[in-house]
């Protein structure tokens, strides 16, 4: 699964990435960076393609299906399994028409040994930003306002992560990123082919402080390697 991640880069670094990768010229001033402990229910920086251009903005992490009330499902559907996307009524429409990438620079996973859980941070060896495959949706709050939510897609873990956890987020590298966001690409078979584990040599892992266990904790100390 993917239940916590970081965007521990500067605003300037993110703006450079968005410009070079998606041709996005600016980032809204209300978007705070860096972030060291992003949790479900929070707004996450995401990119979509509206059919004319790429757009970066905030989506609330916790997908709300079109047939549900926000208060019933908000924060619960933070992950969607790649293997069952085409079978889940909650995701069928978004899988075809509302795909996004959630921008991170690393994610956390906990290795369980008995009652003890050890937190690890997983980051790319080379890249500064990891585009995570996601789906988004829009629903209506009781007050009539619109709520834009998302989920992060997971797949089976590669060998780099398999000793820590059996699942990992789908990381879209290179051409896969553009193919995933292309609104003209609605072929479920082609889309599903993009949802695979990262290459074995793409990621590295290291232990971090148990302070990351609480979503209320923030700060650069959370991403420091634990000796």
SS (H, E, C) 100-167: EEEEECEEEEEEEECCEEEEEEEEECCCCCEEEEEEEEEEECCCCCEEEEEEEEEEECCCCCCCCCCE
Q: Confirm whether 150 is a catalytic residue.
A: no
Q: Confirm whether 2 is a catalytic residue.
A: yes
Q: What is the pLDDT of residue 73?
A: 64
Q: What is the pLDDT of residue 115?
A: 84
Phi and psi of 188, rounded to 5°?
Answer: -65, -30
Q: What is the pLDDT of residue 143?
A: 86
pLDDT in tens, the chain (227 residues): 789 999 999 999 999 999 999 999 989 988 999 999 999 999 999 999 999 999 999 999 999 998 877 666 666 899 999 999 999 999 999 999 999 999 999 999 999 888 889 999 999 999 999 999 999 999 888 888 899 999 999 999 999 999 999 999 999 999 999 999 999 999 999 999 999 999 999 999 999 999 999 999 999 999 999 97
Q: Which helix (H) or strand (E) holds 18?
A: helix 11-22
Q: What is the pLDDT of residue 140?
A: 86
Q: What is the pLDDT of residue 45?
A: 98
Q: What are the chain's domains?
A: 5-223 (3.90.1680.10)
Q: Is this structure's pTM higher than 0.85?
A: yes
From 20, 71, 109, 113, the catalytic residue: 109
């Amino acid at each position: 699964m993917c239940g916590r991640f970081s965007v521990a880069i500067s605003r300037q670094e993110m703006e450079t990435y968005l410009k070079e990768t998606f041709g996005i010229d600016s980032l809204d001033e209300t978007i705070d960076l860096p972030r060291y402990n992003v949790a479900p229910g929070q707004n996450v920086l995401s990119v979509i393609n509206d059919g004319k251009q790429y757009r970066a903005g905030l989506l609330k992490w916790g997908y709300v299906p079109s047939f549900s009330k926000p208060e019933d499902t908000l924060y619960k559907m933070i992950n969607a399994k790649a293997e069952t996307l085409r079978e889940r009524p909650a995701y069928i429409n978004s899988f075809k028409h509302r795909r996004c990438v959630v921008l991170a620079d690393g994610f956390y996973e906990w290795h369980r040994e008995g009652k003890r859980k050890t937190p690890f941070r997983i980051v790319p060896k080379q890249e500064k930003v990891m585009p995570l495959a996601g789906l988004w949706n829009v629903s209506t709050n009781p007050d009539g306002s619109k709520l834009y939510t998302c989920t992060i897609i997971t797949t089976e873990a590669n060998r780099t992560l398999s000793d820590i956890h059996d699942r990992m987020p789908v990381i879209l590298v290179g051409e896969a990123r553009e193919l995933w966001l292309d609104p003209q690409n609605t072929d479920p078979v082609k889309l599903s082919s993009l949802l695979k584990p990262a290459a074995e040599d793409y990621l590295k892992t290291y232990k971090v402080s148990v302070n990351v266990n609480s979503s209320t904790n923030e700060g650069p100390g959370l991403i420091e390697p634990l000796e």
